[in-house]
Chains A and B, each alone.
Chain A
Amino acid sequence: MNAIETKNLTKRYKTKTAVSGLTLSVAEGELFALLGVNGAGKTTTIRMLSCLSKPSDGECFVCGHSCISEPASVKNVVGISPQDTAVAENLTVLENMRLICGIYGFSPEVTKRRIDEMTGLFKMNEVLNSRAKTLSGGWKRKLSIAMALIAEPKVLFLDEPTLGLDVLARRELWSVVEELKGKITIVLTTHYMEEAEALSDRIAIMIDGNLAALGTLAELEAQSGESGLENTFVKIASQFGKGGVK
């Protein structure tokens, strides 16, 4: 069974179609990157897949559950780290993680085990009792991802997880994501080509809400006749009349 399946998934707003007829599938344990310029429809796609937005048309399934008719079941198997850091600022790192465990109704034993696991995975021991508002951007982003992961989701959505981070913090997050690879399904949106190139199994390129290309890096390179993801992306974007590049 695929972890994610979308069929003709469409999101229309009053004057704009944010996602248009998106059909794709993501296998269990796959790390799937969604690439695109601002406004390409990446975040809207993630919002629909995590039941934060209702599709205007089409269907989407997460772990076999319909995002339209079974949102409660979908919410039990997904975790999301939104684009903006989503943490409770006046709570400590530990309290933020406890909050999510409480919301999912974990027992004290499970809560402790999951917090220990997240603390180890993200090496958060030194900041465990620091309030979130005092953390650097990199630590906040780690906490945000830890909060998405702590409920043991089967599918993790990372919406531009390294946006605005310095190179060291970004590389640290990459290593965490690499550790998760194969264990859970991850959908990652990013503007950074090298990030998608380094981490993902398959890449989807979205242009103006449409799926412009989909495949492994090698497949996309072969399709575009270019080498490297950045050149490939630019070529595909220009074929769709984007970016003014030829």
Chain B
Amino acid sequence: MNKVSAFSSRNFKEIIRDPLSYIFCLGFPLVMLLVMTIINDSIPPQTGMTIFRIDNLAGGIAVFGLTFVMLFTCLNVAKDRSGAFLVRLYATPMRSGDFILGYVLPTSLLAVLQILITLAASFIVSLIVDVELNPLGLLLALLSLLPTIVMMIACGLLFGTVFSEKAAPGLCSIVISLASFLGGVWFDADGLGGVMLKICEVLPFYHAVKAARMATALDFGGYLPHLLITLVYSAVVTIAAVIVFKSKMKADLQ
């Protein structure tokens, strides 16, 4: 466990000492939260459009923020792989499991902190705009997002292992865009219906956002399937990331 905690501590410091991680992991989601709240305030009530209301935004923005945790996990892994640093560590008694845990644990902590800050900011905004947000609902939203945290970090590990330092950020940008649009963060996927909804339902992001929103609203009718789908996706992506990381490490040492 010494090896894991030493490597985790290094990865935690590497990420939090990069100013971009604050801008993207924290600043950007909070700015979007405020901007969308202002936009919501400008939407005439008679349109009946509630997608940008804070009780809907909170869960969506939390999922959106997690995509940046994926990006920074990916960058951390890809950077290490492109330099000689991992070569040095490969020559130590560290095993593949130590590397994986060392990458995953600090980013999991960062992800939980990010969600806590996002949900706390949402609660403050809800008091300002006078929309009821139940603190218990926010806590349950955090718990509902645990599988999504695992999935996003596993995605980061997977992309960082497979792609180069230059290619990985581009690929992550595609996933960030897909997650925010096809997750229904910025539009009402259910209201749209048709093929678009079908596409959203195939991917995990829509279900992650739905589970978080339903938990926030303490509305558990039909909640479980959304949670189960994100659980299945996170399990599949995690298994894929572990297999790919281990086989890449084995190939590096051939």
Cα(A72)–Cα(B94), bound, Å: 9
The reply on A88 being an interface residue by CB < 8 A is yes
User: Assuming the A-B contacts A50-B91, A52-B253, A75-B93, are A86 and B7 also in contact, with contact meaning beta carbons closer than 8 angstroms in the complex?
Assistant: no
Cα(A221)–Cα(B85), bound, Å: 38
Cα(A76)–Cα(B2), bound, Å: 15
**Cross-chain contact A80 with B93 (CB below 8 angstroms):** no
What are the residues of chain B within 8 A of A29 when measuring CB–CB?
none
User: Assuming the A-B contacts A95-B10, A99-B10, are A54 and B253 also in contact, with contact meaning beta carbons closer than 8 angstroms in the complex?
Assistant: yes
What are the residues of chain A within 8 A of B3 when measuring CB–CB?
102-103, 105
Cα(A75)–Cα(B93), bound, Å: 6
What are the residues of chain A within 8 A of B18 when measuring CB–CB?
90
Cα(A70)–Cα(B39), bound, Å: 64
Tell me which of A80, A84, A151 contacts B83 (CB under 8 A). A84
Residues 166-222 of B at the A interface (beta carbon under 8 Å): none
The reply on A82 being an interface residue by CB < 8 A is yes
Cα(A87)–Cα(B84), bound, Å: 8
Residue of A nearest to B88 (CB): A86
**Cross-chain contact A88 with B254 (CB below 8 angstroms):** no
The reply on A83 being an interface residue by CB < 8 A is yes
Tell me which of A53, A84, A99, A131 contacts B7 (CB under 8 A). A99
The reply on A91 being an interface residue by CB < 8 A is yes
Query: Number of residue pairs across A and B with beta carbons under 8 Å?
Result: 79
The reply on A100 being an interface residue by CB < 8 A is yes
Interface flags for B5-24 (1: CB within 8 Å of A; 0: not) read 11101100110011000000
**Cross-chain contact B254 with A86 (CB below 8 angstroms):** no
User: Assuming the A-B contacts A80-B91, A103-B3, A104-B92, are A85 and B84 also in contact, with contact meaning beta carbons closer than 8 angstroms in the complex?
Assistant: yes
The reply on A205 being an interface residue by CB < 8 A is no
The reply on A206 being an interface residue by CB < 8 A is no
**Cross-chain contact B253 with A103 (CB below 8 angstroms):** no
What are the residues of chain B within 8 A of A89 when measuring CB–CB?
14
Residues 53-85 of B at the A interface (beta carbon under 8 Å): 83-85
**Cross-chain contact A103 with B84 (CB below 8 angstroms):** no
User: Assuming the A-B contacts A75-B91, A75-B93, A103-B7, are A90 and B85 also in contact, with contact meaning beta carbons closer than 8 angstroms in the complex?
Assistant: no
**Cross-chain contact A51 with B94 (CB below 8 angstroms):** no
Tell me which of A52, A87, A91 contacts B91 (CB under 8 A). A52
Residue of B nearest to A88 (CB): B10
The reply on A147 being an interface residue by CB < 8 A is yes
Cα(A151)–Cα(B13), bound, Å: 22
The reply on B90 being an interface residue by CB < 8 A is yes
User: Of A52, A72, A95, which is in contact with the most chain B CB atoms at under 10 Å from its CB?
Assistant: A52
**Cross-chain contact A90 with B84 (CB below 8 angstroms):** no
User: Assuming the A-B contacts A102-B3, A105-B2, are A90 and B88 also in contact, with contact meaning beta carbons closer than 8 angstroms in the complex?
Assistant: no
**Cross-chain contact B13 with A91 (CB below 8 angstroms):** yes
Residue of B nearest to A13 (CB): B254
**Cross-chain contact A52 with B84 (CB below 8 angstroms):** no
User: Assuming the A-B contacts A99-B6, A102-B3, A103-B6, are A88 and B85 also in contact, with contact meaning beta carbons closer than 8 angstroms in the complex?
Assistant: yes
Residues 81-112 of B at the A interface (beta carbon under 8 Å): 83-85, 87-94
**Cross-chain contact B93 with A72 (CB below 8 angstroms):** yes
CB distance from B254 to the nearest CB of A (A): 6
What are the residues of chain B within 8 A of A105 when measuring CB–CB?
2-3
Cross-chain pairs A/B with CB under 8 angstroms, 21 sampled: A52-B90, A53-B253, A80-B87, A80-B88, A81-B88, A82-B84, A86-B87, A88-B10, A88-B85, A90-B18, A91-B13, A95-B10, A99-B9, A99-B10, A101-B6, A102-B2, A103-B7, A103-B92, A104-B92, A147-B88, A148-B88
A-B pairs with lowest CB-CB distance, top 3? A102-B6, A84-B84, A86-B84
